[in-house]
Structure 1
Amino acid sequence: MRQVFLDTETTGLNAHDGDRVIEIGCVELVNRKLTGNNLHYYLNAGRDSHEDALRVHGITTEFLADKPPFKDVVAELLAYLQGAEIIIHNAPFDLGFLDMELALLGKPPLREHVSGVVDTLVMAKEMFPGKRNSLNALCDRLEVDNSGRTLHGALLDAELLADVYINMTRGQDALLMDSGTQDEPGIQVVNVDLTRFTLPILEANAQELTAHDDVLTQMDKSSGGKTMWRKLA
């Protein structure tokens, strides 16, 4: 599965009042592994940021003066996002701005270019009801190092969100295995009839049982107590 964590920085809070996107950061995850195939743009929006927004991201109009407008990067951006599952923290905000940018160019909204959108803020509210679920709060709760986040930045925040998401969902895919040989040329896969073998049963020792219990405890913590392992046992 290909997933892309996406974040934006903008000139203000309201796309319908003329605020625009000035930074886009994307981080790629394939089969729950970071690939390093990331995408990052600073964009010249043709307008100044509001003072409150400037205090959040620190991206000045002067810095953006020689950066491309959105129309110059949209083809590359949509090609990169095509068919991926997009993961955003507080998705309505970022989608609202990106859809407005696309609409100004006569293009359909982002959801029509991707396989789906996941909002990690909605996920977090379900997992941690009644608690603060900002990106900073989730980093603290899930032990993700965000010490470098003195200002908001789209690429940095997308990277942090990827780490947060992996920690939030690490109990879901832990039992999935990928042989890694499906598309590799020159590798012959031999089918073996395992019914011919008598496999020994190895009991876990005390140290292994303790380590296993620690893993279950961490999974309970990450999922907000929603795991079923101990209940089924």
Structure 2
Amino acid sequence: MRQIVLDTETTGLDPAQGHRIVELACVELENRSLTGRSLHLYVNPGRDSDPEALAVHGLTTEFLSSHPGFEEVAHQLVEFVQGADVIIHNAAFDTKFLNAELARCGLPKFDTMCVKITDSLLHARELHPGKRNSLDALCERYGISNAHRTLHGALLDSELLADVWLAMTRGQDGLIMDFEDNSGLDANGMRLEAFDASVLKVVTANAAELQEHEEYLAVLDKIVGKPCVWRAVEA
């Protein structure tokens, strides 16, 4: 199974207002393992970033002016995502920008180029309802270091999201559910290992024990004046 973890940085929040992609990155997973293949592109948007967006990614107009426009690199994106399940955190945001950029190039919508799009933010919200599920919060929850993330960057964020996605979808590792960020730890702070129920020995009741059980149910029937609840369970 081939998966691509994708992230973008933009000049602002809405392509309908003329905002553009300034950075795009993809990291490849094959059968839930990082392959080492990635795609990383800086894109000249032909305009300034909003101050709020610039504060997030730090990509100045001067720096981006030396890079190609999206139409010059669109084919690299199309080739990289072909036949893959694309994973994006808050996918609605990135796909609306990708669709706008692709439309300018006369290309079809992004979701037609890949097998499907999976929103890791929606998946995280299902797993951790009522909790913060930003990329930073998920890195903290799953013990993934993001200390080097001083600014948002598409390549760094896609690499972090790949690690988060693998951790988030590997299944439960311990006997304790994730009610808190330290779930999976016992009272001494030791992590509980995965429990294999198949190793448990199954012991069935013998004839004498079954007879004792039946006699006990008969007593319960007499006390309540009708078949006790265990009769319904057995039925």
Considering the TM-score relative to the shorter chain, is it more than 0.5? yes
Higher-RCO chain (CA-CA 8 Å, sequence separation at least 6): 1
Alignment deviations for residues 81-133 of structure 1 (CA, whole Å, 9 cap, x no partner): 11100000000000000000011111111000000000011001100000111
Distance 2:195 2:129 in 1: 19
| 1:95 counterpart letter in structure 2 | T
Deviation, 1:228, is 10
- Partner of residue 196, structure 1: none
- Partner of residue 110, structure 2: 110
Q: Count matched residues.
A: 187
| 2:67 counterpart letter in structure 1 | K
| 2:24 counterpart letter in structure 1 | I
- Partner of residue 149, structure 2: 149
Deviation, 1:14, is 0.5
Say which SS state the counterpart of residue 87 (structure 2) adopts: strand
- Partner of residue 138, structure 1: 138
- Partner of residue 47, structure 2: 47
Deviation, 1:217, is 3.4
Once superposed, what is the RMSD of the aligned Cα atoms?
2.2
Contact 1:25 1:154 in 2 (8 A): yes
1:11 partnered with 2:11 = yes
Q: How does 1:21-40 map to 2 (within 5 A)?
A: 21-40=21-40
Tell me the percent identity: 53
| 1:57 counterpart letter in structure 2 | H
Distance 2:34 2:178 in 1: 23
When the two structures are superposed, what TM-score results if normalisation uses the length of structure 2?
0.75
| 1:221 counterpart letter in structure 2 | D
Structure 1 stretches of at least 4 aligned residues deviating more than 4 Å after TM superposition: 227-230
Distance 1:84 1:100 in 2: 21
Distance 1:16 1:160 in 2: 29
Aligned equivalent of 1:221, options 178, 192, 195: 178
Distance 1:121 1:229 in 2: 30
Q: How does 1:160-171 map to 2 (within 5 A)?
A: 160-171=160-171
| 1:44 counterpart letter in structure 2 | N
Structure 2 vs 1, CA of residues 130 and 104 (structure 1 numbering), >3 Å: closer, same or farther? Answer: same
Deviation, 1:229, is 7.2
Gaps of at least 5 residues in structure 2 are 184-193, 201-235
Contact 2:22 2:42 in 1 (8 A): yes
Alignment deviations for residues 142-168 of structure 1 (CA, whole Å, 9 cap, x no partner): 111100100000000000000000000
Deviation, 1:29, is 0.3
Contact 2:174 2:195 in 1 (8 A): no
When the two structures are superposed, what TM-score results if normalisation uses the length of structure 1?
0.76
Contact 2:8 2:25 in 1 (8 A): yes
Deviation, 1:9, is 0.2
Contact 2:139 2:146 in 1 (8 A): yes
Say which SS state the counterpart of residue 38 (structure 1) adopts: strand
| 1:18 counterpart letter in structure 2 | G
| 1:216 counterpart letter in structure 2 | G
- Partner of residue 123, structure 2: 123
